[in-house]
């Protein structure tokens, strides 16, 4: 049993995973529940996740979420979804109840409604902090500094592995913009023969390189999680060049419960495995040769 999450704010979510999978819960149930608790908490919206996240350039909150199991073909995602406080729950329904794997915008909202979800008014999805930030953007073209995305990976008692991601996307993005998070192989990937990985950072750049798939493939070939993440990061940064680097963080978990990460910027993350009594805080630091930009 093991779990890992992106950024320092994932600590409560990873601790929730610890408690759920220690109690015998299946990995997918645990990931969905832990992600949804963060998504629906307006106080964590400033981490660019769910309710209270930053709206798009039209003042509307649009969320992306995805969930992927290690079994072949087990994936579901939503993108540019409006009015749902827990988009990962809709993503799981897509995986289990839709003939499709990814639904977006109005189609995602229609599916959510059919599945019994309430589509809330946009004002109910925003917080005073998000609204104030949006007004600052409209009046002065200000953007909040930094950004996050929540990615969680869980390995349960039965050896099932699941990865989930959720984000409200780049603050004040163009309506309909979708980053890497809900795209399989880009924002997340899982394979029960090797492990799982998730990415965070500049989604418009990350999606061009399918890093999560690459990390899992390297683990399948025998690389430890940290080494696989670092190899993928090094490959991407060498291809873009030192002056065109961008913000990216990678986490991975293999089937032995070993976690690792690599990043182009200082990147705190949290993890736990069954021989530990509490969640551990770790940090990935970029090598000095890695150039990086300012993020989204």
Asked if the structure places residue 169 within a domain, the reply is yes
Asked if the structure places residue 291 within a domain, the reply is no
Tell me what the pLDDT averaged over the chain comes to: 94
Structure token pair of residue 156: 């349960």
- What is the model's pTM? 0.95
Asked if the structure places residue 233 within a domain, the reply is yes
Query: pLDDT tens digits, residue range 160-210?
Result: 999 999 999 999 999 999 999 999 999 999 999 999 999 999 999 999 999
Query: pLDDT tens digits, residue range 58-104?
Result: 999 999 999 999 999 999 999 999 999 999 999 999 999 999 999 99
Asked if the structure places residue 134 within a domain, the reply is yes
Structure token pair of residue 161: 């592995």
Asked if the structure places residue 293 within a domain, the reply is no
The total of structural domains in the chain comes to 1
Of 28, 44, 149, 270, which is the active-site residue? Answer: 149
Annotated binding site: 177-180, 200-203
| Euclidean distance between CA atoms 155 and 147, whole angstroms | 27
| Euclidean distance between CA atoms 165 and 145, whole angstroms | 21
Task: Kindly report the CATH number assigned to the domain that includes residue 179.
Answer: 3.60.20.30
- For 93, phi then psi, to 5°, come to -65, -35
Asked if the structure places residue 290 within a domain, the reply is no
Annotated binding site for substrate: 177-180, 200-203
What's the angle, vertex CA 284, arms to CA 262 and CA 4, rounded to 5?
75
Asked if the structure places residue 292 within a domain, the reply is no
pLDDT at 277: 85
Chain-centre distance for alpha carbon 139: 30
Asked if the structure places residue 294 within a domain, the reply is no
pLDDT at 145: 61
Range of the domain at 246: 2-284
Q: Does 167 qualify as catalytic in the annotation?
A: no
Kindly report the length of the chain: 296
């Amino acid at each position: 049993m093991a779990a890992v999450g992106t950024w320092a704010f994932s600590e409560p979510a990873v601790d929730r995973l610890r408690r759920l999978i220690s109690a015998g819960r299946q990995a997918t149930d645990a990931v969905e529940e832990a992600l949804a608790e963060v998504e629906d908490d307006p106080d964590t919206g400033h981490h660019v996740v769910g309710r209270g996240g930053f709206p798009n350039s039209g003042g509307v909150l649009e969320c992306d979420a995805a969930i992927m199991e290690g079994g072949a073909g087990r994936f579901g995602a939503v993108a540019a979804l409006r009015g749902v406080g827990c988009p990962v729950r809709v993503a799981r329904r897509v995986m289990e109840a839709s003939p499709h794997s990814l639904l977006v915008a109005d189609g995602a909202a229609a599916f959510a409604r059919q599945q019994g979800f309430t589509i809330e008014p946009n004002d109910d999805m925003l917080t005073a902090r998000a609204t104030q930030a949006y007004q600052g953007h409209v009046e002065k073209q200000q953007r909040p500094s930094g950004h996050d995305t929540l990615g969680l990976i869980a390995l349960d008692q039965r050896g099932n592995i699941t990865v989930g991601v959720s984000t409200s996307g780049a603050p004040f993005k163009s309506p309909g913009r979708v980053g890497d998070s809900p795209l399989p192989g880009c924002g997340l990937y899982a394979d029960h023969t090797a492990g799982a990985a998730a990415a965070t950072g500049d989604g418009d750049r990350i999606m061009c390189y399918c890093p999560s798939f690459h990390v899992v493939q390297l683990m399948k070939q025998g690389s430890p999680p940290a080494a696989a993440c670092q190899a993928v990061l090094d490959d991407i940064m060498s291809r873009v060049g030192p002056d065109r680097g961008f913000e990216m963080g990678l986490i991975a978990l293999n089937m032995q419960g070993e976690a690792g990460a690599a990043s182009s910027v200082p990147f705190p993350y949290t993890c736990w495995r069954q021989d530990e009594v509490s969640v551990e805080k770790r940090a990935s630091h970029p090598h000095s040769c890695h150039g990086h930009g300012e993020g989204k």
